Each structure stands twice: as C-alpha cells, then as structure tokens.
Structure 1
Amino acid sequence: MTAPIETTGAAAEAQPEAVLKGVEQKRIEGRSLGQIAWLRFRRDKVAVAGAIVVILLIAVAALSRPIQSLLGLDPNNPNQSLIDPNTTLPKGDFGGMSGDHPLGVDPKFGRDLLARILEGSWVSLIVAFGATLLSVAIGTVLGVVAGFYRGRVDAFISRMMDVFLAFPLLLFAIAISASLQGGAFGLEGLPLHISVLIFVIGFFNWPYMGRIVRAQTLSLREREFVDAARGMGARGPFILFRELLPNLVGPIIVYSTLLIPSNILFEAALSFLGVGIQPPQASWGGMLNQAVKYYEVDPQYMIVPGLAIFVTVLAFNLLGDGLRDALDPRSR
C-alpha cells in the first residue's frame, strides 16, 4: 500500500465543510424575468439616458403651471416693450434673450418662450399619451381576439385593419378637426381640441398595434401552456385574459413607447397646419407655425420649439429601443 499523502498550508485549510458552511450563510437566490430585464436595461447607458430625459419631461409637463407661477411667467401675457416697433422683432440679440427671458421672446407679441414651451409640453404629452392609450386598448383587444380565434373572426378583423390603414390619415384628421372647431359633445375650447386630437390620432392608429398583437398571439396560442389550459377545461375568454395577455405585456409596452413619439409628431403636425391646438393656447406645433414668418430674421423662435420636439421624440425612441432589447434580447 502507498502511504497517504499529507497536505499542508493553504490546501489543508480549504476543507469541504468550510466551503459548505459559507454557502449556507449566503443562499443563492433566483431572479425573476423582470429582474433579468432590468439588469439588461441598466447595462444600456443610452437607453438609461433616454429614460432619465423622459422622466424629466413628464415631471416638467406635470409641474408646468407651478413652475410658471414660481418663476412669475405667463405664456399668454404680451409685452410690447420688448418688441421693436419698427421691425416688430424682439429687441437685443438672439431673439431677446436675457436674464428674465432665458429663451427669448416671440416676435410681434413679446411673450416669453420658456413659458410657452412649458405650457406646450403638457398639451403635447397629454395628447400623445391619451392617443397611445386608446390605440393600445383597441389594438390589443382586437388583435388578441383575431389571433386566437382565427377563421372568419380573424379575416373580418384583418380586413378592418386594412381598411383603416388605407385611409389618408392626415387628410382625414384635418377634415375632422376642422369641422369640430366650434363645439361638439358638450365641449368647447381647449378640452374639445385635446379630445378631438386624442380621438383622431388614437382611433385611426390602432391597426399598427393590432397587427403586432395578432402576430404574437398566433405564436403564443400554439404553446404548451395554452394546451395545458385547454386540457384543464379553460374556455376562450379565460385563456385570452389569463394566459395570453400576460405574455403580451412586453411587446405592448415596447411598441407603446415607440408609438408615443409618433403621436407627438402627429399632434405637432396638426397644430402646425392650424387644425390642432388653437392660439393663444401654446403648443409646439403652433409655435412652429407662427415662426415660419420670422425664421429668416429671428431663427430663435423656430429653434426653441423645434429642439423641444426633437429632444422629446429622441428620448422616447431611445427608451423604446432599450426596452425592446431588454425584454426581447433575441430581437437584437
């Protein structure tokens, strides 16, 4: 027989009991799908920066009125003393920028641009979020029903999507918005304009969400958990709302964050064309409309609202791309 090998030093100290004892003190915990997605999202620095900007924009929009009161600003208060009577342009350089008016004032009226940007922020975000919510609600319900039941139900809903997608949406939105400017449904003024924009943008954009949800549902309905639910006696409505919809949350969230900037641009386009938010209420698209007359002599008036739209749309797009990569890494 061979003599037993003696170990000394560090090798002798690393006994199995000591290793197991350390493991018992710190248990290994599993991670949920949400935690894994959050870790992926945190590694994407660009998406995190977009999320921070989005949070700041939402906070500024929600607190725009208190911020204006705190700074003593009024978006609709004209100040003719800041306008040169000979040129009808702001006095001074860079559109009348000063300590009291850090972004300058608008030509002809002398209204503070910072106040009007703050006032227009909540209008744009309310319209964008409201229209997105309406599109998501209609598109999700019809998309999941079409993908699950298939057959005639799928054919009818799919043809309905094709009809809506065939509409010249911009012209249709202009016609509806222009015809309802005076008053309708017991509403008038700003509440009417916001409601009309939310309806027009949201109702006619639902097929985009519907197609995505339908495609995802066609894939999910063939999965094992759906077959197991059927085997346990579950019926269609239970499978739709308890089995399929929870698995569609990721794609719905991702596409919603990408739909919001499109709706912001659409609202700005309608306001720019004069059929959206009506003056003197401030809106980013309306400010661009008024700046067209002065962009050669006072480019500041066009740059400020243009940058506001650019930064907002870019931040939401970066956030949406980051969420897509975090929730569905196979799509990269």
Structure 2
Amino acid sequence: MTAPIETTGASEAQPEAVLSGADKGQIEGRSLGQIAWTRFKKDKVAVAGGVVVILLILLAILARPIQALFGLDPNAFNQDLLDPNTSLPHGDWGGMSAEHPLGIDPNFGRDIATRILEGSWVSLVVAFGATILSNTIGTILGVIAGYYGGRTDAIISRLMDTFLAFPLLLFAIAISATLQGGAFGLEGLPLHISVLIFIIGFFNWPYLGRIVRGQTLALREREFVDASRGMGAKGPYILFRELLPNLVGPIIVYSTLLIPTNILFEASLSFLGVGIQPPQASWGGMLSEAVKFYKVDPQFMIVPGLAIFVTVLAFNLLGDGLRDALDPRSR
C-alpha cells in the first residue's frame, strides 16, 4: 500500500498569493469586434487596402472643394497646348508638366488629373448608392425568406431566380438609353446617376439575398431565437433585434466585395456611352474617349485605367481581409 503523496506549500495555491496579485490588473474580456479588429490588423495587405480606400473616399468627398480652392475646371480647354495639325499634346508623355502632372487629353486639352479627381466622386457615389439599395432589398427579403420558410421562402426564392435570369448588361443599356433625355423630374447628371444607382442596385439584390437567406436558415434554429420565442417575441422583433445583428458581418464583407463590381459596371456603361454623359468626367467615359488615341497617346488611356484598377484592387483586398477577420473558418 503506497503512502499518500504530501503536497507542500510550494505546490499549493496560497490564498494570500492569489489575493496579492489581484490588485495588479485583471484580465478583461474582449468583444467579437475587438477580436476581429485584432485579426484584421495582422493582415498588412488588407490594412494597406483599407488605407487606400479611405484615401479614395476622402478624395471623392473633397473633389469639388479642391477644385474650387485651386481654381480647377475639369472641362477647361487648353487648345494652345495641342498641336494644331494632329490635335495631340505638345511634348512627351501626353503633355505632362508641372501644371498638368498627368498630362492633357487630345482634341480638347483638358487636364487629366482634374478629370480623374472629378470622376472619382461620380464612381463612388454610384457604387455606394447601388450597394446600399441592393443590400437593403436583399437583406430584408433574405431574412424574411430564411426565417418564415414555407410558401414565403418559395415565393422570394423564385423571385430571386427571376432577377438573376435577367441579362443585366443589355437591360441596363436599354433603360439608360431610353431615359437619357429626362424622367421623373430629373435631367442631366442627377438623372444619369439616379438611373445607374437604380439599375445596378435593384437588379443585384438577389446575390446578397441568397447569402442572408442561408445564414438566417442556420441562425433561426439557435438557442437565442428559441428563447425569444419562448418569451413571447413576435416575428418582426426576432428579425430585426435578434437575427439582423448577427448578419452584420456577412453583409459588411459582401458590401466591400460588391462595391468594386459596381464601380466596374458603372465604368462599363459609361464606356459604352449609356452611363455618365460628357462633358461630365467619368473614368469609363475617359477610357471611351481614349480608345481613338491609344496608339499615339497611351497616357490618356493608362491614367483612368490605373484609377479603376487601384480602386477595385483596394476594395477587394479590404473585403478579403474583413472576411478572414470576421470569419476565420472561411480561410
């Protein structure tokens, strides 16, 4: 029979030792947001993308004040800087100079840097407006379909399938071309921006709707939903106070990935001539004008192309980083 093992004071948790360290600081719990932020900060590429996105948003917001402060006009002609025989800018690299750091466009001699600045707010307004519209519709219909199920789910799901079957590009071209003159009491730039936001946002909501529906199907069986039902909570309360807060992460991630898609879509429509109309500057419109001069003045095409490329890349990097931070299992 073995003797019992005696524990000495060195191995015992002395109450005095525990209490003496209590006043040196307590371990504080972290919220899910703090944990996600810690993960996100470790992804240097995503942080760089986020910094670029913030700078682009600030640039778009301050575009008009910057133009007013420095007296810049995106539609000002500089015919004296063009060769009268070829209508091309004097000098190399598209007429780049201290006054025109990115050069000037052929035919009109307008400053490319100023037009890029002007086009930035147009692209972001359309992209953000369309994203907000599509996310609002998709979130509401998706969470309703996922929570109630049955016939409601079947009707909304078939509606999603119907919208997804639309040839969106051809439909957008047809609507934009029809509403160029004026409609709904709007005309000019406000009309073009409103039409683009409606077309892009209204017909893209099923993508988020399907994501939200799938997440809701999983969440509606969780204990906190059953507890709300047991306490007598009605459907609308559960939808907007219990389910939607748990869907914020996927919605944010999808939004950051949808915005660059909307920027490309707006640029495509403007490139085809049914989006933002000249003389208003837009990145897609600038590319459309540059097609005629890409062989003799490639600078005119490179600059707006790089603007679109950098913007889309920054939003994609930010979206990937947010997805990994909010849902590490998705890696």
Which TM bucket (shorter chain)?
over 0.9
TM-score of the superposed pair, with normalisation by structure 2: 0.95
Q: Does 1:186 align with 2:180?
A: no
Partners of 1:276 and 1:296 in 2: CA distance: 25
Alignment gaps of 5+ in structure 2:
1-7
Partners of 1:173 and 1:65 in 2: CA distance: 28
Partners of 2:41 and 2:18 in 1: CA distance: 32
Partner of 2:37: 38
Partner of 1:58: 57
Q: Aligned-pair distance for 1:307?
A: 0.2
Give 2:25's aligned amino acid.
K
Q: Aligned-pair distance for 1:18?
A: 5.4
Give 1:259's aligned amino acid.
L
Partners of 1:189 and 1:124 in 2: CA distance: 16
Q: Does 1:157 align with 2:156?
A: yes
Q: Aligned-pair distance for 1:27?
A: 1.4
Within 5 Å, give how 1:9-28 maps onto structure 2.
Answer: 17=16, 20-28=19-27
Partners of 1:17 and 1:107 in 2: CA distance: 83
Partner of 1:88: 87
Structure 2 residue matching 1:225: 3-state secondary structure = helix
TM-score of the superposed pair, with normalisation by structure 1: 0.94
Q: Aligned-pair distance for 1:23?
A: 3.3
Partner of 2:147: 148
Alignment gaps of 5+ in structure 1:
1-5
Partners of 1:216 and 1:28 in 2: CA distance: 33
Deviations 1:73-109 (A, max 9, x none): 2100011001101111011000000000000000000
Structure 1 residue matching 2:278: 3-state secondary structure = coil
Structure 1 residue matching 2:292: 3-state secondary structure = coil
Distance 1:78 1:19, change over 3 A: same
Deviations 1:35-81 (A, max 9, x none): 00100010110010000000000000000112223333210001100
Q: Does 1:236 align with 2:235?
A: yes
Partners of 1:45 and 1:21 in 2: CA distance: 40
Partners of 1:66 and 1:88 in 2: CA distance: 31
Give 1:119's aligned amino acid.
E
Aligned residues: 322
Deviations 1:127-166 (A, max 9, x none): 0000000000000000000001111110100000001000
Partners of 1:22 and 1:110 in 2: CA distance: 73
Identity of aligned residues (%): 81
Q: Does 1:167 align with 2:177?
A: no
Partners of 1:44 and 1:22 in 2: CA distance: 35
Structure 2 residue matching 1:164: 3-state secondary structure = helix
Deviations 1:165-201 (A, max 9, x none): 0000000000000000000000000000000000000
Deviations 1:186-222 (A, max 9, x none): 0000000000000000000000010000000001011
Q: Aligned-pair distance for 1:271?
A: 0.2
Q: Does 1:279 align with 2:269?
A: no
Q: Does 1:78 align with 2:77?
A: yes
Q: Aligned-pair distance for 1:19?
A: 6.0
Tell me the C-alpha RMSD between the 2 structures.
Answer: 1.6
Partner of 1:326: 325
